[in-house]
Amino acid sequence: MSYIFNNPDIILKLLWEHIVLAIGALLIATVIAIPLGYYIHGKQKLTTVVLGILGTLYTIPSLVLMILLLPLFGLNATTVVVALVIYCQIILVRNVIAGLDAIEPGIMEAAQGMGMTRAQQFTQIQLPLILPVLIAGMRLSVVVATAIATVGAMFGAGGLGTLLFNGISQGRFDKIISGSLTVSLLAIVFNLSLQYLEKRLGKPLS
């Protein structure tokens, strides 16, 4: 613990790197997952295939996935972010589809019947209605990303993993403990804040 208080500048720098990795990956993953989920929603076969592939990717151990991506993106943060984006896809796409499925058919029929274009139906009706479910997915995703980003330190992405790996090689338990604590705390903060958002957005619906 005392390591944290004695080296706030190091901790803050690594913490910031870690946040950028996790949030950056989350945002990129969300931007990909929304159109992907929207497109495959309602297409049974395609949905099964896409979710199958994403589910399989999710089972690849993080170290292995990053090593596989290494030749493509090099020894830097990009490799790590790409890996995190891939892990988040299954969670997010699945939630986008579940959210769209949960919208009462009458609501979409009304929207269509009143003369909304497809784009207006999406931005004004579907997106706001799936938001609570989407944010639940983002919450899980960012926690997963926060955990896995720790491994990123081995690939030159920085972050709080640096403390862990340094600690292990130097036999410095204070570093290991400080790193673990900070990562855990970060994950908890992400989780709580998105949970709050999720609840607030879900309110008028029930």
Partner 1 sequence: MSTIRFEKVVKEFAGMVRPALNGIDLTVDSGQFIVLLGPSGCGKTTLLKMVNRLHEPTSGDILIDDQSIYNGMDVIHLRRKIGYVIQQTGLFPHMTVEENISIVPNLMKWPEEKTKSRVDELLDMVALPPNEFRERYPAQMSGGQQQRVGVARALAGDPDLILMDEPFGAIDAITRTDLQDSLLKLQRQLRKTILFVTHDVDEALRLADKIAILREGQLVQYGTPLQILTQPNDDFVSELVGADDIVRQLGQIRVETIMEPLLDGGPIKQTIYQDESLRVALSDLVKSKQDFLTVVDSGKQPLGTITYDNIRNSVG
Give contact residues for partner 1 (rule: CB under 8 A): 104, 106-107, 109-117, 120, 124-125, 128-129, 204-206
Q: What angle do CA 75, 80, 81 make, to 5 degrees?
A: 125
Alpha helix stretches (DSSP H) within 41-157: 44-59, 62-73, 77-102, 105-113, 118-120, 127-149
Q: Which is nearer to partner 1, 1 or 114 (CB)?
A: 114
Q: Which is nearer to partner 1, 106 or 171 (CB)?
A: 106
CB of 142 to partner 1, least distance (A): 24
Whose CA is closest to 81, among 32, 131, 11, 135?
Answer: 32
Q: Which is nearer to partner 1, 10 or 127 (CB)?
A: 127
What 8-state DSSP symbol labels residue 154?
Answer: G
- What is the sign, positive or negative, of the torsion defined by CA atoms of 198, 202, 203, 206? negative
Per-residue tokens: 173: 């338990």
Per-residue tokens: 26: 């989350």
CB of 30 to partner 1, least distance (A): 19
CB of 197 to partner 1, least distance (A): 15
Whose CA is closest to 158, among 61, 73, 86, 76?
Answer: 76
Q: Which is nearer to partner 1, 112 or 180 (CB)?
A: 112
CB of 109 to partner 1, least distance (A): 6
CB of 41 to partner 1, least distance (A): 19
Q: Which is nearer to partner 1, 1 or 205 (CB)?
A: 205
What 8-state DSSP symbol labels residue 42?
Answer: T
CA–CA gap between residue 71 and residue 84 (Å, rounded): 17
CB of 206 to partner 1, least distance (A): 6
Q: Which is nearer to partner 1, 71 or 113 (CB)?
A: 113
